[in-house]
Amino acid sequence: MNELPEKINEFAEKRRQGFITIKNLKDEGKKVVGVFCAFTPRELISASGAIPVSLCGTSEEPIADAEKHLPRNLCPLIKSSYGFAITQKCPYTYFSDLIVGETTCDGKKKMFEMLGKFKNVHVMQLPQTTKSEDSYKLWKNEMLKLKGKLEEEFGVEITEEKLKNEIKLKNRERKALREFYELGKMTPPPLSGMEILKVLRGSEFTYDKENQIKTVKDMTEEIKKRYDEGERKVSSKAKRILITGCPLGEATDKIINLIEENGGVVVCYENCGGVKNIGFLVDEDIDPIDAITDKYINIACSCMTPNDNRIKLLSELIDDYKIDGVIDVILQACHTYNVETYTIKEFVTKEKNTPYMSIETDYSQTDIGQLKTRIGAFIEML
């Protein structure tokens, strides 16, 4: 695999290349289910024979169209997602036979109502705490409701065997990706944070999972081999940064780029799409509905209260990845993550004795100058 950088860049193009793949699969009669969030049980969707695709808006482009219906002071991720839907500029949304959402935050919850006027939307009622037996029962019931919805929509039966098989396949994918992103534990890391992110992001738009698993495993082994042979792409002096907070999209790559242009390297992503989601497996030894209920109710999202799982996870990651500094990325108008910054700052600085900074931003590129100054000063302080 002499063309290793090209392999990584191939993952970066998966989202765009996937447009054609999805159209071809639709032409073959396959069903497509659009999903927005880490709480969506993709194994259940796959067990129905449908293809789960990620819909979250990651671009500033459709926001102006979305603001014709939505308030300006709303999370850019929500506006972008809705804008892509109403303009039909996102093929994934266009080709979705069903869209699954969850009541994670008020903005998404109300946006789903509007989206439901022109798309087939099923909303899962997400309990807001993991500390209650009632919450577990509610979430399990939502799993069963989604199972029934998928069976009804697509005229299929989701058997226990089908669901178990999908759980095993998804776990194998998680293990391969986990082995890849844990390369960031090396000192210095063999990859930049942007390279790691390209692969993690591209995996969301790869539909031949067996081929993806093999490609990621082969790439990980090649990177380790080159590292053992002495190849170093990142300076040993680069400050090791952990990114936490809101989901990251292409529009927020400006933050990772500025970190790595100013003497830092992102070695770990705690956000959705990073360790928070793919770092934890589904139990293969218990009833599959119970297993996915337990997996997906324990995601360390700020919509949960108390969000003790996030504190526990951050504590482990700061130690395991030898973190020099934590950067908390907050999208404008994301109230749950914004309110939580105080708790996270107190924990990171006082209990973990690690420097911390929070960044509030949106999908525009107008704040790059300000971000460069703040990030540069933070890393210089480290």
Domain segments of the chain: what residues? 4-160
Read off the pLDDT of residues 218-228 as tens digits, 9 standing for 90 and up: 999 999 999 99
Tell me the average pLDDT across 350-379: 97
Distance from C-alpha of 85 to C-alpha of 74, rounded to nearest angstrom? 17
Q: Whole-angstrom Cα distance, residue 30 to residue 322?
A: 45
Q: Which amino acid is at 299?
A: I
3-state secondary structure of 307: coil
Task: Detail the DSSP E strand segments found in the chain.
Answer: 32-35, 51-54, 98-102, 121-124, 239-245, 264-269, 325-331, 356-361
Above pLDDT 70, what percent of the chain? 99
The set of residues, in sequence order, having a beta carbon less than 8 Å from that of 67 and lying 6+ positions away, is 79
- Whether 57 has a pLDDT exceeding 90, the answer reads no
User: In the predicted model, is pLDDT for residue 273 greater than 90?
Assistant: no
Q: Does domain 4-160 have CATH number 3.40.50.11890?
A: yes
CA distance 154 to 144: 15
Pairing of strands 325-331, 356-361: parallel
Q: What are phi and psi of 325, to 5 degrees?
A: -160, 145
| Best CA proximity match to 176, nearest among 219, 217, 207, 204 | 217
182 close to 268: Cβ distance less than 8 angstroms: no
Residue 269 DSSP code? E
> In angstroms, rounded to a whole number, what is the distance separating the alpha carbons of residues 370 and 30?
46
Q: Which helix (H) or strand (E) holds 231?
A: none
Q: What per-residue confidence (pLDDT) applies to 1? A: 42
| Residues 85-132 pLDDT 10s | 999 998 899 999 999 999 999 999 999 999 999 999 999 999 999 878
Q: Is the pLDDT of residue 304 over 80?
A: yes
Q: What is the mean pLDDT of residues 284-289?
A: 98
CA-closest candidate to residue 333, choices 113, 126, 55, 107? 107
**pLDDT digit string, tens, across residues 191-242:** 999 999 999 998 988 899 999 999 999 999 999 999 999 999 999 999 999 9
pLDDT in tens, 15-24: 777 788 899 9
Q: Cβ atoms within 10 A of the Cβ of 286, count?
A: 10
* Residue 5: predicted pLDDT: 67
Residue type, 292: I
For position 15, what pLDDT does the model report? 73
Can you give the pLDDT at residue 340?
97
Q: Distance (Å, rounded) from C-alpha 299 to C-alpha 82?
A: 24
